[in-house]
Structure formats: structure tokens, C-alpha cells
Amino acid sequence: MQTDWLLLRCVCGQSFGARRGSKASCIRCGESKQITTAAVFSDPNKLTEAVAKANLPREIRDEISRKLDDKKRRQLKTRNHANSSTIQFILGQSTDERGILTLSSLHNILQREGITDPSPEQIIGVAELQGVVQRVGNEEWKWLA
């Protein structure tokens, strides 16, 4: 049986958590009657995060959110090495509706994804060796997979 966890808010402004069905009272003022349920969680770890976030002043919460978003964006942009499934995805994204892949389109997708290794030329070379693409023109390949 799964336990629900409640994010509760007291009239004094304090947020806290409790199990569904338990008698809850505010950890700041002791109030137990004028408490509202703000959210329900099935995971106590998510509840912990929600309580911490709910008790932060809005300005600090917004600043932390913005910094976390910036950090996540930087991490995604600095992801410079691609694994095989990422390369397969990028090859598919670089291929047009006729099944044609160009060095330019491959370069653009790699740049958009923030991947610098391997290079477009290396990816095409391996794809040709593996028989996934076949050269059909100057800097153009037909997707065979």
C-alpha cells in the first residue's frame, strides 16, 4: 500500500509535511485546525523538496530556480561527447524527408546539441564504414538504416 504525503500550509505561513491520515499541527505555532493541503506526494523525498521550497522567501526561491535553470542549461551545452544512441538520433535529425544527410545539416545539429566530439566528418566516416549511409553526392549521403 502506497502512503500519500501531504504538503500542508498553516495560517501563520509555515509549510510542513505529514502523512495522510495523521493528526498534523504546525511546527511553528502549533495550530491544528486552520491548515490547508497545498499538494499531495507519493514520494517522501519529493515532499521534503517541496517543503523546503515552500518555506523560502519568494525572491530567494526565484533566484535559486533561475540559477538552477542556468546551471542545467550550461551542463547541456557543455555536453561535448556523444554516445552511440545520441549519434544515431543526430543522424536521424540531420536527414531530410528524402533520406538525404548533408555534412552541413549534421554540423548544425551537433552544434545545436553542444556536441564537439566526434566531429561531423568522423561520424560520417564511421557511418559509411558501418553501411548506415552511402555517399550520393558532394557532401551528401543517403540514410540506409
Q: Is residue 100 part of a domain?
A: yes
Q: What radius of gyration, in Å, describes the C-alpha atoms of the chain?
A: 26
**In which element (H, E) is residue 39 found?**
strand 35-41
- Looking at the structure of the chain, the number of domains it has is 2
Examine the domain organization and report whether 51 and 88 are in the same domain. Answer: no
Cβ–Cβ < 8 Å for 51, 17: yes
CA–CA gap between residue 75 and residue 40 (Å, rounded): 31
The C-alpha angle 145, 95, 128, rounded to 5 degrees, equals 50
Phi, psi of 135 (to 5 degrees): -65, 130
Task: Judge whether 12 lies within some domain.
Answer: yes
Supply the pTM of this predicted model: 0.47
Residue 132, domain CATH? 1.10.10.10
User: Is residue 38 in a domain?
Assistant: yes
Which pLDDT score, from 0 to 100, does residue 79 have? Answer: 54
Q: How far apart are alpha carbons 73 and 22 in whole angstroms?
A: 41
- Parent domain of 102: 84-143
Backbone angles phi, psi at 34, to 5 degrees: -100, 65
Q: Tell me the pLDDT of the chain (145 aa) as tens digits.
A: 567 899 999 999 999 999 999 999 999 999 999 999 999 999 898 999 899 989 999 889 888 878 877 776 666 555 566 777 778 888 888 888 888 999 999 999 888 877 888 889 999 998 888 888 899 989 899 988 6
Considering the domain architecture, whether residues 132 and 90 belong to the same structural domain is answered as: yes
- Predicted confidence (pLDDT) per residue in 37-50, tens digit: 999 999 898 999 89
Establish if 78 belongs to a structural domain: no
Q: Which of 101, 110, 106 is nearest to 136 (CA)?
A: 101
Domain shared by 89 and 48, yes or no: no
